[in-house]
Each structure stands twice: as C-alpha cells, then as structure tokens.
Structure 1
C-alpha cells in the first residue's frame, strides 16, 4: 500500500507548493492553479498579529479558483494563533499551517519559526489551541532541528509531542537550520539534506501524514520520494521554472500536458479581472517570467514583460506580445 492510500490529501494531489515570502501571493497562486489544478497551494507566512489587526483583504484575500489553499501562520502565542486560525477559516481556507521552520533573524526575534523546534511543548499548546478554534485541518511545517540538534530522537520527540494533540500532518524541510551564522538563503542550501530522517519518521509513525520538502526538482526524484512518503512540497523549482510544476501535475495527477502558451492564456481571465480592479500588470507578470526558462525566446519573453509591465496601461496585449516573441524566436523555427 502506498503511503498516500492511507491519507487522501486535500485536492486529491500529493503535490503542494511551498509558502514563500514575497513570492506566493494570490496572483502567483492563481497562476500555479492553472499549472497544477489539484496541487495544494500555500500562502506566504502571515503573523497571527497581522491577521487579527491588519488589512485582512490584503493579507487573506484569494480567488475561489485557488482551492485547495492553505493559510500559513507565524507566531507562538496559543490564544493569538487560535484567533488568527478562526479568522482564516472564516475566510475559507482549507487548511491552517503553523510555521516552525523559518530561520530569519526577524522571525527569531519574534520567537516564532524555526527557533520553536527547541520548544515542542509550546508548539503543541499552539496547535491544540488552533485545532480547538477551527474545523479544518491544522498542520505543521518544520525542520529536522536547529543548531546543535543532531539527534534523530530529538526530532522524533518534537513530532511526537505535537502529534499528541491530534495533529496528523507534518511537512518536513529535510534540513536543520542554523539560527546563527547563516542567512535564510544559506539555510536553504548549506545544511545537508537528510531525507533518511523523513523516511524513518514515516516508517516509525505510519499513522502520520508526512510530506517531504527541500532540494526537490526532477520528476524522477519526486517519483522516488512518493514511494516513501505521503507527499512532496516543491518550492523554488516551481517558482523559477513554473512549467516544471505543470510537468509534476502531468506525471502525478494525470493532468493532460498543455503547451506553455496555452497555460498562460488560461490565466488571462484572472489577469483581466485584476486589471479591472486596478492591479498593475507588473504585480501579476513577475510570477510568470520563468515560464519559458531555457526555451527558445525565453529571454525575449522575460525582457518584454520586465520592461513593459510597469508602464501605464500595460495589459493582455503585452502578454500576447511576449508570447509572440517566443514563437518568432530563431531558435523556435
């Protein structure tokens, strides 16, 4: 029996797209939904305090086409996280996720993110409060540990403490984080990947839903991981080369393969709605710059959008002109 046979994921897909600050906004997610109709999408991390006191339409608003979509929260106060979860569920999110993996200095200063790997009891209190506030699934995205933590048993104890609340789904970035001395970018690259820890967790705790995140790129690699865990979460590969996300959906969700131009045009109705609402094209088009990565005309496609999207009145015609450049490229002939 495959791992996913025990736990059908939201949307029916074993794929999810990672929450990425400044990247996975609502416009990005709307485009990713075209590429992968069943994948579970995540918001950027939003602090619980911002959800409670901030501009909720800006922070939480999303298009109905994005479902299934999860809200990722940051924080470490159980009462505030419970209230933010209640608000998020009220906005229609399909899952509420707690960030226990971000290593940035700002996050550490606020006592949330990866530093909470050292406080499993507090994380369990937060998850229990969040679960009591909502009826949708509450999940955790975590690391293998932080700094001096080098023992699998410490990681397992963290998971067990949190799972005792009834939390069933853990998305594990298969690296630990160095909270001092490494930037967030370096923390995505320098600490070694330890997929074996995630495999072992799934093997020893088969009742948990375990998704693997970190370093995943090639379709064959994803296929190998899905034989051992319940799901895979893709981050920067899906963003910088978005057609890869479509290829994953073709390989694992049975989606029909579609050309890049057809996928982009399928996103146009969303773009038109946003333009009509006063959103500048530059805020949308930045998410599609990598669609023709390493393809004929890809450089011209990026250049046309990068130079033209900020100009007044830029719209669908500019996107069509960028597409035409890929078809007119000498390499495409």
Structure 2
C-alpha cells in the first residue's frame, strides 16, 4: 500500500483520485488583463464633476508639497525626503477613499497621503526631520506612523483590521507600499493571513519600477505583482497608477468589498517616480534620462489637467485657485520649518510601553539626572 492510500480523507478537494473540484476557482481572483484606465475613456463623463475637480486640486497641491519638501532637504530643514513626484495619483486616491474611521498604514514615501488624510504637514514630516519617530497621534488620526522598514506595516494593518472586525467596528485598513516591499517576508505573511482571516484590508502596491536601484525584473518574475494575490486566495487588481480617477475607482471598489465582508484585495498601481529615491540617491547611476523623459509624458497632473480642460470642466480661474492653494501650503511649510524645533529629550520614553519596564525607568531616571546636572552648570 502506498503512502497516499494511507490517507483516509483529503483536506484539499482534487488532491485524491476521484475528487476533481478545485478548492477555489482562481478565475475571479485574477487581476485585470490590462491596467484599468479612466482618463480618455467614455466612462469618465459619468463621474461626478465635483470629484474630478477635487482630485485635480489635490494633485496640484500634492505636486507643490513634494517640491517644497525637496527644497527643505536642500536647506537642511529635513534630514531626508523620499519624493512621490510622479506618483501623486496613488497618494491622492489613497487619501480620498478612506472614511474617517478607517486606518491608513503608510510607508516612508507616503507623506502626501498622510497629509491628504488630514494630518498637519509639519507633523507628517517630523520623522523625516529626524526629531521623533512620529509627529502625530496615530490613534487620533487613524494613521499609523510612517514605516521605514519595507512592508512591516502590512501585518500590522491585517491585525488591526481583523481585531476591528471582531469588535464589530466597521473599519477597513489600507496598507501602502512600493514594489520593493513585495519582496519582503512581511508582505507575504500579511497577504496570507489577510486571506485566511478574510480581513477587511486593502494592499496598495505602488509599482514605480525600482526598489531604490533594483529594477522590477530583478525582483519578481510574476506576470504582474497583482498576480501574487491569487496564490493567497484574494482578488488582485491592476490599475494605471498615473490615472488618478482610475486609481480612485479601483481602490474605492476594493475598500467597499472589504467593508461588506468580501475580503482583502491586492491593488497594483503602475506608476513611476520622476525624482530620485531620496535626496541621498543618484538615480542617474541606474536609469537613463530617456526613460524619465518618456514617463514625463505620462505625468498624472498633466494627464488630469489636459482631460478636464478637454471636457470643459477646468478653466483658468479654477486652475489658478488650485495653484494658489498649493502656494499657500508651501508658504506655510517654509514658515513653520524655518523655526528651530523645541525638543524634549524626556519624550523618548513616552509611548514606548503602556507600563514602562524597570530598564526603561532606570534609563529615564539616568537621563533626567544628567539633564538636571547640565542645567546647573
């Protein structure tokens, strides 16, 4: 008798002879055959004009936000800044599909989404200024701290979403990451548990083609990153990440599916970062100027403005209002970052543990004594 014949039953239909039905039909889980697009299609005319203009305004403000934050790094006001210029459509859409009670789990490049969520720009950039681990209250803002390690926020998003559902709290968690994050173990663990638990969570992968300098072809051989969803038993979606209306629609559908018990979704947004990985990166060492120039023709802000003007939804006055709002934000950022921050070293011990450990208390007392001695000199 073979080892296979010793097994009385099979947990997987189709594994034993005579059982042919698959456990899960993969067809409904497969991603879109081509990236979902809205700009330039007939479907765009069915969209709410107010929504379209709001998305445009957010793109304009977001572009100026990125420019000003980059300038602040050159002035030494920020230690580092990972710009999302060229990826603003993903950032804007992510912020606008969240309800007040939902949670956002951003990566280090997603400060624009955090600000779009309603977090103060100065507080959103505190981590990148080097002053604290985070500058805002995650519980009050329903926004997790900016995550620097790749994809470690993804399991946290699953855990929170699952816990909220157990508590009867109608929360959806949206976790954002780049294509490099999909190569991390935390990403795979998060997707696996999200699908097994049917957790109300959406994963947004902003595939900008590079994990710092490593191109996507050297990270994954999958047809698309969205195809990775099928192996875990969840829906995959593929969208043009520079089409802000399409990203908004796909994310909104995924959020609604999660909210109504339909389970998690992995959304891959094809986009491109027009600037370097950070201000400390020399992107010319791994990509050519021709590539960047080609992607500039697919700039999300240019695409949106061009389409809205063709539809007679955007005029010069409305565009000027958006630009004015952007300049107002930039001026505020300059003014607030010009002032030197007032730092309290004792704040290092806050929000570490609900009940501080003896070791932490010992360190706290030691620092307090050193600061007191310094003040007496």
TM-score, normalized by length of structure 2?
A: 0.34
Higher gyration radius (CA): 2
* TM score, norm. by length of structure 1: 0.37
